[in-house]
Amino acid sequence: MKTWEKMNLPQEVENLLNEKDNIIVPSSREQLLELSLGEKYQKTFQVAYNVKGKGPVVEADVVRCKNGISVNYKDMYMRRRDPNSMVIGDHKPTDKRRYKDEFGMDFEGVREETFEWLKEQDLIVMPFLAGGSKMGYEALMIGPRNAAFFATALSDLQAFIPAEEIRDGFTPRAIVYVAPPFRHTHFDGKQVVVHNRLDNLHEVFAYNLYPGPSAKKGVYSVLLDIGEREGWVTLHASTVKVITPYENVLTIMHEGASGGGKSEMAEQMHKDAEGRVRLATNMVTGDSSYVNISAKCELRPVTDDMAMCHPSIQNDSKKLVVIDGEEGWFLRVNHITEYGTDPYYEKMCIHPKTPLVFLNMNATPDSTCLIWEHTVDEELGKPCPNPRIIMPRAFVPNVEDGPAEVDIRSFGVRAPLCTKEEPTYGIMGMFHILPPALAWIWRLVAPRGHANPSILDSEGGMKSEGVGSYWPFATGRRVDQANLLLEQILATPDTRYILIPNQHIGAYEVGFMSQWIARDYLARRGSVQFREEQLIESRCPLLGYSLENLRVDGTHVPKVLLRTELQPEIGIEGYDKGATILGDFFKEELKKYLSPDLNPLGREIIECCLNDGTIEDYRNLISIKF
């Protein structure tokens, strides 16, 4: 019996597979790695396709290294995710772009063309569990054999099922179809991923080979679609359990748009060559301040990017409970620019337990791929800002398996430099305490923020990533996801909320130090509760409460980093202008949610913002415990 004959498949998929003899259902990850380098496991392999009117087009070069395979895309555009890649091919309710509106025809014709093209290819058919091994849903990938590196990446990101372990009655809830040449023949060279939601099957048509919008976020879309139907959410969040030198334990979950510091939340603080922790550098005066931290906290990662909040793990807890929705993490390492920057990741990548998949990094055959040697974007003359490693979570030291109760939900925002001469929304202090109602609207707006390295973005300034910061990957309606998030907040009153900027605090450059300081400070306190006299109402109500003071391991953090209006480079006037920029942006984005289907409490919260409500107004809508 052929492996796929055990499966319950749509008739057209059965027809596709039964017509072909040259199909591989992989038996192991090792087999996938070998296939990624061609039939003879070559040192270098070009992934190329014959494109009508263009002849052979090389999409990617794959190089065999001592520590894995290195994949480089020939087209600079393909080295990061295009935020406009998603298109909806079905006719179910959605707020996203429909295929027919975008391309002037129903998707069904191109869908049929895709199946015809796949019939002409040597194929890989790879079963996996979408959502990971603990809570995952049966799924399938079908694509050309010469794109085996894509299948390898997906097998690491999700829970690959070897051919011998397929059970009778395997029924996919999702199928990912890979057809790279269509990028050129149908979509003017653009990254396009079409989601076609059938009644019992979510189809993902990946018309490009960058795994970001399909193998990574495409599977995320599948989980969001299933959750929307069943009444739960997969959050865009990293989660880490922090254990202090005094054995206090705190679990913090960090949400935010791409580039908002999710992966960094599970990293140790970076130190300079002298072992010092540089807290901040004033970009006007050039002065830097440092903190001394004698003993570091132990970090136990739980999730990196996709936190499933399935009702089966929530039980009766009044705190949010999450479990990882992935088996591997899509780590961006643009901040690692030389040896010694991050020994933690460098050791894992130079001496991995098994070979890894590297993207957008320079490598030569049989060498060790070094994660600080990033591919140069030829057109820009500088390193690609989106070098990636796919790291199986089982390789991560001290990783936490199973569900985790969340003490604090933080939200990260990439903040620009702010001065009185050039005021911006970069007025946030090191971190702010948010009442739950404010935490909800921050998640509706989800600012993408300043200088995002993860995606293509031709315009600067503040943009909204949308509900939960996962809206770019959701296929349905904003209002449904907004309601789910609000219901989740109301059901988990013992989880608290904070807001953390990264990159800049007013006129100071901080990188991700703000979230590392906030994480360690809250864990060392041993409590997430504050007395009201320890907090000050922020001058901008959208920022909730600021801290009166903050001391980490005996070192006081300067107050100008807690309340940016105290910075002479900004002052009250510059701060208020920045607050106006932030407030106007929120009002414009929140109007999109005023649907008749919005939860009535949600409508009150949004109207509170539109009417310039105070912090007390937000507290009255959903109470906060101090």
Burial environment of residue 77 by CB neighbours within 10 A (0 to 12, 13 to 18, 19 or more):
middle
- Which phi and psi (to 5°) does residue 469 adopt? 70, 0
Q: 460 falls in which pLDDT band (50, 70, 90)?
A: low
- How would residue 425 be classed by pLDDT, with cut points 50, 70 and 90? very high
Tokens standing for residue 158: 């999700």
H/E run at residue 357: strand 356-359
Cα–Cα distance, 129 to 26 (Å, whole number): 15
| 3-state percent breakdown (helix, strand, coil) of the chain, nearest 5 | 30, 25, 40
Question: What type of residue is 109?
Answer: G
**Where are the extended beta strands (E) located within 13-169?**
23-24, 44-51, 55-65, 68-73, 86-88, 123-130, 137-144, 159-160
At 458, is the pLDDT very low, low, confident or very high (cuts 50, 70, 90)? Answer: very low
- 137-144 and 174-178 strand pairing: parallel
Whether pLDDT at 215 is above 70: yes
Taking residues 332-344, report their average pLDDT.
Answer: 87
What residue type is 383 in one-letter code?
P
Length of the chain: 626
Residue 449, pLDDT score: 67
User: Is pLDDT of 455 > 70?
Assistant: no
Residue 472: band (very low, low, confident or very high) from pLDDT cuts 50, 70, 90: very high
Which domains are delineated in the chain? 3-28+83-230 (3.40.449.10), 234-319+407-621 (3.90.228.20)
In DSSP terms, which residues pair with 233 in a beta bridge?
309
Angle at 582 between CA 607 and CA 487, to 5 degrees: 45
Q: Is the pLDDT of residue 1 over 80?
A: no
Residue 409 corresponds to which tokens in the numbers above?
């939900």
Mean pLDDT for the stretch of residues 489-502: 96
Q: Which pLDDT tens digit goes with each residue over 217-259?
A: 999 999 999 999 999 999 999 999 999 998 899 999 999 987 8
Distance of CA 244 to the CA centre of its chain: 27
343 CB-near residues (< 8 Å, 6+ apart): none
Helix (H, G, I), strand (E, B) or coil at 254: strand
Residues in CB range of 23: below 8 A, 6 or more apart: 4, 17, 122, 123, 124, 125
List C-alpha distances in Å: 469 to 37, 565, 582: 36, 28, 17
Average pLDDT, integer, range 573-591: 97
Per-residue pLDDT tens digits for 8-67: 999 999 999 988 888 999 999 999 999 999 988 899 999 999 998 899 999 999 999 999
pLDDT computed for residue 343 by the predictor:
86
- Look at residue 344 and tell me whether its pLDDT is greater than 90: no
